Structure 1
């Protein structure tokens, strides 16, 4: 009954947005023209950002954000009335993902990228599909339960992520005198804690839970401390292609209104997922549920 009431509250308002997006004509834009001419759409993905974007045992990109991007690609195919649309995959890292979108080498980036003011000067974002928060992962045997417990210790995070600046700001405010280290990717950051080369790994909580679940001994680690930030994660697009963005925005709104996004969330966060069949068991936060009531690409920084 509650679900039905929620649908009646959300659907009229959200469908109005969909109708608004639909009213806009498909303009002649670099992205859409290229897709129309080549019959190819290029989707950037990550290697180990489970459950958003990662490689399965056959090196095929899969994940929650990948599924959202595939739905968006289908919407582009329908909009352009293409008989076939081939998907080319491009592996990106936190360091080069923005550049690949800026240069038009990838049309969409489906990973675990935060929508913030600094990045919006370079790229555009669609409606968030997840809202994360930065926390810290430590060895349970360390006895560390908060950021203050890391005073004077080594903390690792991943290059090119927003967590780097958050940590520096926290260090300045609390005079923690942290030894901040940046690793090339999330897997390497986790490995530094695992091998005792860092006392903690600071990153979005869902990525920390994901990496812990994949460890040889997951119970050796725990995610602790208050949230250091609120991070809306969204598909990244070209800043200079409003028509292409409208198609993607319209499809993401439809996924939310029709509860397909909620089904995808259950698939990747509340059920066993490949390649090891782990279950993250992360219930949908109230922040994400509330954001789905009024889908928008506008976020607070």
Structure 2
């Protein structure tokens, strides 16, 4: 039986082939509101690396844990969505995955940049993150940015740290990795001179994995991170931003960050950022 929907799809497909329209609207991935779809399914699909502690990682029971995970669960609850499905991905695939609707939102410390905003939508900032230079313990030749010229630099592929290394360190030989653990491990074993990594993450990984690395010099930059979703989702963005604002105001974000980030109050960091006083 040819249904009304089938007839419509056949007609639109024919129009597409002849150039009368730009899309059929009948593909398996076609959808409307991200918020409506998630609420209808009762599940918010959240992408993260699962390999960047203390932000997000797999715990001893192979379950997602960390700052991003707790924030995601709280966000889903405030959006009226009963379940969170965590989807493992990486920085090099986040934007493509959002646009292809493999997940609803990325909550994994993506830095808000003008280039990314051309492709995806961003929430208001939900974390501030400083980037440090990590070197092998005992290495005294690397003391900061100026001393990285011409050296081998380890970075996580698809991150702003990778772009920073390519554009701001003259003559650098860039080595990319799937996650910061691998990058820092190579630095500790002498296969790279330095790694550009979040100050929280690098310190956490070094301690947890007994890596022979240390932070050196001043912070290279402070990154402002947001949650990523498909462009044009105005209602979704409004609801996500409201939930985050409420989490900052009522102390929930402070509680989560203190648990995972060595006592740091992320809500205070974000308020300072908004006031223009963040370092």
Structure 2 residue aligned with 1:76: 79
1:293, distance to aligned residue in structure 2 (A): 6.2
Q: Distance in 1 between matches of 2:71 and 2:34?
A: 19
Of 253, 268, 272, the match for 1:290: 272
Structure 1 residue aligned with 2:181: 187
1:203, distance to aligned residue in structure 2 (A): 2.3
TM-score normalized by structure 1? 0.75
Against the structure 1 CA distance between its residues 224 and 286, is the aligned structure 2 distance closer, same or farther, given a 3 Å change threshold? farther
Q: Is 1:40 equivalent to 2:38 in the alignment?
A: no
Q: Check whether the contact 1:55–1:61 (CA below 8 A) recurs between aligned residues.
A: yes
Structure 1 residue aligned with 2:8: none
Q: Is 1:137 equivalent to 2:134 in the alignment?
A: yes
Q: Is 1:159 equivalent to 2:157 in the alignment?
A: yes
Report 1:236-255 matches (<5 A).
236-255=228-247
1:228, distance to aligned residue in structure 2 (A): 2.2
Q: Is 1:264 equivalent to 2:256 in the alignment?
A: yes
Instruction: Count residues with an aligned counterpart.
Output: 245
Q: Check whether the contact 1:256–1:262 (CA below 8 A) recurs between aligned residues.
A: yes
Q: Check whether the contact 2:47–2:105 (CA below 8 A) recurs between aligned residues.
A: yes
Q: Is 1:54 equivalent to 2:57 in the alignment?
A: yes
Q: Check whether the contact 2:43–2:83 (CA below 8 A) recurs between aligned residues.
A: yes
Q: Give a deviation string over 1:5-54, Cα, whole Å, max 9, x none.
A: xxxxxxxxxxxxxxxxxxxxxxx942123223322221112221111111
Against the structure 1 CA distance between its residues 293 and 253, is the aligned structure 2 distance closer, same or farther, given a 3 Å change threshold? farther
Gaps (5+ residues) in structure 1?
1-27, 79-84, 272-281, 295-301
Q: Check whether the contact 1:53–1:61 (CA below 8 A) recurs between aligned residues.
A: yes
Structure 1 residue aligned with 2:206: 212
Of Structure 1 and Structure 2, which has the larger fraction of its residues in helix? 1
TM-score normalized by structure 2? 0.80
Gaps (5+ residues) in structure 2?
1-30
1:169, distance to aligned residue in structure 2 (A): 2.3
Of Structure 1 and Structure 2, which has the larger fraction of its residues in strand? 2
Q: Distance in 2 between matches of 1:32 and 1:221?
A: 43
Of 11, 29, 33, the match for 1:30: 33
Q: CA RMSD in A?
A: 2.3
Structure 2 residue aligned with 1:235: 227
Three-state SS of the structure 2 residue aligned to 1:236 is: strand
Larger relative contact order (C-alpha < 8 A, sep ≥ 6)? Answer: 1
Q: Check whether the contact 1:69–1:108 (CA below 8 A) recurs between aligned residues.
A: no
Greater Rg, structure 1 or structure 2?
2
Q: Check whether the contact 2:145–2:220 (CA below 8 A) recurs between aligned residues.
A: no
